[in-house]
Chains A and B, each alone.
Chain A
Amino acid sequence: MTVTDEELVARCIAGDTDSFNQLILRWERPIYALAYRQLGREDDARDVVQDAFLRAFRALPGFKGEAKFSSWLYRITLNLCRDVMRRAKRAPFVQAPEGVDVAELASSDTSGVESAEDAVTRKDLSRHVARAMSRLPEEQRSAIILKEYHGLTFQEIAELQGCPLSTVKTRLYQGLTVLRRDLERQGAGPVRAEGSRTP
């Protein structure tokens, strides 16, 4: 039976450091993904992951369990991302590849699912999305990332962002609308399994 986050937290508070390492193993990828999409830099995102877990570990005795552990971790991560952006005084910059890495494409598993052309198109689209996301205001971007990639409920996002539920939905709607226009202007569109684009 899988041990819940809350059980691991309780064990860690009781002095079992390994339990926290299990929490790290469980959450490091989502936290890295969140930080990367917020900041757009792999090295910054890695640093944020490390800082977030360290902060969480130090603050764990004060964690009352009122929110889910994951929500608490997301909040720490978002605050750290905000700090990084503030320190750098810059908008997030997404590392968009200049060209397509042929070696990476060749090494990736494309057996019967995605042709090389599709992979190129997907990379291209990923670059467009990253650029468009980087242009969004931070609140809209956070709302979209938390909803789209982390599957948080509107209520959870509202608690994380400290705003009413309706504000979260408005931010999402506005963000998606701006993204749609931006992507249309760039001529990007979703990739189907067959490699065709939607009109």
Chain B
Amino acid sequence: MNDTRYCGNPDVLMAYLYEDGDSSERLAFDAHLRGCERCAAELASLRAVREDLAAWAPPETMLDFRIVRDPAPSGRRWGWMTAMPAWAQLAAASLVIGIAAGISGLDVRYGSDGLVVRTGWNRAADTQRAASPAPGTAAGASAPWRADLVTLQEQLRSELKQGAPAPAATPVSAAAANGGKPMSDQEFMARVKQLIEASETRTQREVALRVAEVIRDMDTQRRSDMRRVADGLGVLEGRTGAAVAQQREMMSYLMRVSQRQQ
């Protein structure tokens, strides 16, 4: 039964084949198929092609693609610094500035000629100048900052007496041995240098401790990595062995089958 509405009409044929279309049209084509051998054969062959297509599968593959956020800027190198409380960071910064000032022999003076800042490299010239007093020196001795400096010395002394750590104990007793007299500038500078040296020693000790910790962490990490690699190799060896065994079994099976056919 040749019907131009259906025979060779891809629209109707495809809608029927994939069951994607109007149900009334489908019913009508169903009725047509019962009487049209050509369309029925065509449909059967297209269904066979669809069965063939089902055999085509893409190979298995690893798909591990993911969207990740931009990592926050890593501060690992100085992470221990950020872990420190603010007061400790401030103290550390003051210490560094103090050390730098001590190394450079920083000298700050305020006199009739205004504020004078000198470093240790100018100290020699400064000493010479001090040996031959200038006319304004007498006025400098009675300058108001002198009183401030004495107050500061007193304060430092009292603080040291109250609760200085072990390394600072000797200088304090030395100061006490001085009979409670006010220190000279040289003694005061020597005292400050001692304090700075003690701080440097503490800092060095801390750095050494930190380095030791880093080395220990790295060693631990290395050991755990090595263990993981060793475990992975063991698993791989096991799998390879199992695969070889399976392959051997399969080969012997194929051999048996082929011998049976012969």
Chain A residues at the B interface, C-beta cutoff of 8 Å? 17, 20-21, 24, 28-29, 32-33, 36-37, 42, 45-46, 49-50, 53-54, 57, 95, 102-103, 105-107, 116-117, 122, 125-126, 128-130, 133, 144, 147-149, 153-154, 166, 169-170, 172-174, 176-177, 179-180, 183, 188-191, 198
Contact = CB atoms under 8 A, between A and B. Distances in A.
Nearest to B69: A17
B14 A154 contact: yes
Given A28-B63, A29-B63, A106-B249, A180 B49 contact: yes
A17 B68 contact: yes
Interface of B: 10-11, 13-15, 18, 20-21, 45-46, 48-59, 61, 63, 65-69, 243, 246-247, 249-251, 253-254, 257
Contacts of A32: 58, 61, 63
A37 B59 CA distance: 10
Contact of B15 (A57, A129, A169): A169
Contacts of A147: 18
B10 A173 contact: yes
B243 A126 contact: no
B10 A20 contact: no
30 contacts: A17-B67, A24-B65, A29-B63, A32-B58, A32-B61, A45-B61, A46-B63, A50-B65, A57-B67, A102-B247, A103-B246, A103-B247, A103-B250, A105-B250, A116-B253, A116-B254, A125-B55, A129-B55, A130-B56, A133-B56, A147-B18, A148-B53, A154-B14, A154-B15, A154-B18, A169-B15, A176-B46, A177-B46, A190-B51, A198-B51
Question: Is chain A's interface secondary structure helix, strand, loop, or mixed overall?
Answer: helix
A128 B49 CA distance: 12
B138 to A, nearest CB: 74
Question: Is chain B's interface secondary structure helix, strand, loop, or mixed overall?
Answer: helix
Contacts of A20: 67
Given A32-B58, A125-B55, A166-B11, A53 B65 contact: yes
B49 A183 contact: yes
Nearest to B46: A176
B68 A106 contact: no
A163 to B, nearest CB: 14
